[in-house]
Amino acid sequence: MRLPIYLKIAQDIKEKINSGELKPGDPIYSENTLCKTYKASRMTVRRGLALLASEGYIYSIPGKGSFVREPDNNSYTLYYNEMKNLVNSVDKTKLLEVSITLPNQRLINSLQVTRNKKIILIRRLFFTEGEPVAYDVKYLPYCKGMPIVEKEIQYATFPEMVAKKMSLFAIRKELIIYTQMPDEEIKKYLNIYSDLPLMVVEQKLYDREERPIGLGITYYRGDYCKLYAESYFSDSLLNEKYKNGVET
């Protein structure tokens, strides 16, 4: 078998945890014990344990030992892209407005700006196969280098809009998802004539100093929006190579 020892160690322990043989709180064999068991050096054993730790399976307490972690049952990975989701993929957009305004009270609070700060306002409609499926509004505090050119805005997602100015790695994003009935204006934009609710996604961007750098609100027709999430098994970004050799 060509499976590296450290992966073998990690897999064996993971198997014990998944099967329930090791339960949350239970101690793992000590590093020295594992060294003997696998005839491996301590660094190799530690690498296996480090992998399990980074995947959230175990944790260590200096001087005491390593233990099985309580799994986080309430976290999921949500896939969200303004223009792509389960039921529709935006194939056309219409730029309704690009302008520079002053913030109202809600924006002053939300973006943490003064009432004199210039705000870029962008309003768009998203279409799928000719049908309007979402109404989209963005607010960005104006800075030099901000996108106010139509071409840069038309098909850009929110993170892309600010990416011109800074590294996408440095941006923290928040989503708030809720539902509401459309007002008359949105009904008009989205061709809604019956009792159809909206899915609303508020997206807020922060820089590394936790300063808000943008607020976006997207109003989806309820029948065109499904969001998908799943529990993440960060089952190592590495194992791809060895996926065949799962033999014990």
Query: Which parts of this chain interact with DNA (CB under 7 A)?
Result: 4-7, 28, 30-33, 39-44, 46-47, 60-66, 238
Is the alpha carbon torsion for 60, 63, 65, 71 positive or negative? negative
Least distance CB 23 / its own copies (angstroms): 7
All residues at 6 or more sequence positions from 113 whose CB lies less than 8 Å from its CB, including other chains: 103, 107, 119, 141
Task: Using alpha carbons only, give the angle 128, 81, 231 rounded to the nearest 5 degrees.
Answer: 125
- Measured CA distances, 99 to 58, 103, 190, 208 (Å): 52, 12, 22, 27
Least distance CB 30 / its own copies (angstroms): 20
Least distance CB 102 / its own copies (angstroms): 28
Q: Closest CB to its own copies among 29 and 219? A: 219
Distance of CA 49 to the CA centre of its chain: 27
Residues in touch with its own copies (CB under 8 A): 17-20, 23, 43, 50, 53-54, 56-57, 59, 71, 73-81, 84, 86, 157, 159-160, 166-181, 195-199, 208, 222, 225-231, 233, 237
Q: Closest CB to DNA among 102 and 245? A: 245
The DSSP H or E segment spanning 96 is strand 92-101
Find which of its own copies, DNA, none residue 155 binds, CB within 5 to 8 Å per kind.
none
Q: Closest CB to its own copies among 211 and 226? A: 226
Find which of DNA, its own copies, none residue 54 binds, CB within 5 to 8 Å per kind.
its own copies
Task: Using alpha carbons only, give the angle 119, 125, 152 rounded to the nearest 5 degrees.
Answer: 55
